Amino acid sequence: MNQGTKQLYIQTGSLVAGFMVWVLISSLMPYIKTDIQLTSTQIAWATAVPVILGSLLRVPIGYWTNRFGARLLFTISLIVLTIPIVIISMANSLFMLIIGGFLLGIGGALFSVGVTSLPKYYPKEKHGFINGIYGAGNIGTAITSFLAPVLADNFGWRTTVNIYLIIVLAFAILNFFLGDRNEKRVNHPLTEQIKNVYKNPKLWFLSLFYFITFGSFVAFTIYLPSFLVNHFELTKVDAGLRTAGFIALATIFRPVGGWLGDKINPFLILMAVFFSLTFAGFLLSFTPSLPIYSFGCLLVAFFAGIGNGAIFKLVPLYFSKQAGIVNGIVSAMGGLGGFFPPIILTILFNLTGHYAIGFMSLSEFSLASLVIVVWLYYQERLDITSKIVNQAVDGICVTDVNGTILRVNPAFTRITGYTQEEVIGKTMSVLQSGEHGQEFYEKMWDSLLSNGYWEGYIWNKRKNNEIYKEWLTITAIKDDSGETKNYVGMFNEEHEKNKNN
């Protein structure tokens, strides 16, 4: 087994353990509230608090992973996780639940370790799939959502919490002995990395997208157990089983999203994702019956999972040199996306008596993201076109219908000596050498107006007044109605010493 495969197994297993612990409070809340008297608002805060540190800590953990390696980060983090487990097992007040829950966030923050470390072992064309497999460690939340209520029915919720001590310590030992001691290190100052990326709008667009997709996953994970018990009067075990099904579906389709991102344009995938989440939020806002509500939740799970995988294909694509810090920022925003919805839904329900406004917010945020994705998709295509023009060996000049120059490429500047700033707004007459009479240019325009095309040799003059010979092709660019909107000239220099040779 090569090192990459070995680390994929170890790190994914460690993420499963971290996520199992991360959702302990929300999974056991139907049992905890029987021992500790809590209002609906206090329950919302207790279940949402683990998301805070689980989000904010992802940024430095992504940076530290690049600097110290996944082995050290997993080992230390899993050992520290034993502290909140002990606190929660002895909790007898909201304050102890909040303190323990806050520290549980370390389990969620572990996500940044693998998405920063594992791509180092694989070629770029596999990054989407590998990060998708690692992200499937989300299944840890499904395991706890299903297993914790069953254990609590048999052993009590406090004993159930203590069982997780064994799990995290086992994976801490596994990482210490089997983690890669020779992982490639990247040691650039954190402030320098942040300065290099924070002005890039793609960072914040990706953060928004993950805020919606992973935020939906986290929000539903921590909210569904109590919601299904209180709103639909399901049993605690039944609510846990349905929540586990939601998590499992989202988790299974995360690597599918990453794999699709390796095969086709990830923006096309995200278009389908946000269109579907827009519909799902709209459906859920009407507080439907349990079957329809279940369908809406499964729709969210399916497309949130695919979206989670596709987004982390884009991160190394745009930020290969700052992947650690960018992975941290994007994943942190995703975690925060799961913090606010449960609290907002509870507050809105207390004020209005229903959840319509809260679920409609999911629909509206998804719709806004859909618009941005469509814009980015077409912007990317324009960027590709621009790169082709800028890197072309031939000189290229774009004019309006009157021959006024709108744009030139670097090859134009190299051949003629004129920069883009010097020729924009002028006509091509700036290059005229005086070697051709008026009749020559009249025939050229006649051909362009009648055929939309002209090509031939022409003598032009550089900025330094040197006359040179070029092969010039001019093409009319027309709109759908057939009306000419622009002319594009492409030329290459004939390498002759002078016009008489």
Domains for the chain: give ranges and CATH numbers. Answer: 3-388 (1.20.1250.20), 392-494 (3.30.450.20)
Distance between CA atoms of residues 88 and 46, nearest Å: 11
Exposed (0-12), middle (13-18) or buried (19+): which is 11, by Cβ within 10 Å?
buried
- What residues pair up with 493 in beta bridges, in sequence order? 470
Q: What is the pLDDT along the chain (501 residues), one digit of tens a residue?
A: 689 899 999 999 999 999 999 989 988 998 999 899 888 888 888 888 888 888 888 888 888 898 899 999 999 999 999 999 999 999 999 999 999 999 999 998 998 899 889 988 988 788 888 888 998 888 898 889 889 989 999 999 999 999 999 999 999 999 999 999 999 887 777 677 777 787 888 889 998 998 899 888 877 877 787 778 877 888 888 887 888 888 888 888 988 888 888 888 889 999 999 999 999 988 888 766 888 888 988 999 999 999 988 887 887 777 766 766 787 788 788 877 777 776 777 777 777 777 777 788 888 889 999 999 999 888 877 776 677 778 888 999 999 988 899 989 999 999 999 998 999 999 888 999 999 988 999 899 899 888 889 999 999 999 999 999 999 999 998 877 788 889 999 999 876 544 444
Helix (H, G, I), strand (E, B) or coil at 322: coil
Task: Note whether 232 and 350 are within 8 A (CB).
Answer: no
Contacts 24+ apart (CB under 8 A), 346-352: 346/40, 346/41, 346/43, 346/44, 347/41, 347/44, 349/40, 350/40, 350/41
Spatial neighbors of 222 by CB under 8 A, at least 6 apart, are: 23, 26, 47, 48, 50, 51, 338, 342
Query: What is the strand order of the sheet 453-461 is part of?
Result: 405-408, 395-399, 484-494, 467-478, 453-461
The pTM of the full predicted model, rounded to 2 decimals, is 0.67
For residue 476, what is the DSSP state?
E
Of 404, 377, 406, 408, the C-alpha closest to 390 is 408
Distance of CA 454 to the CA centre of its chain: 47
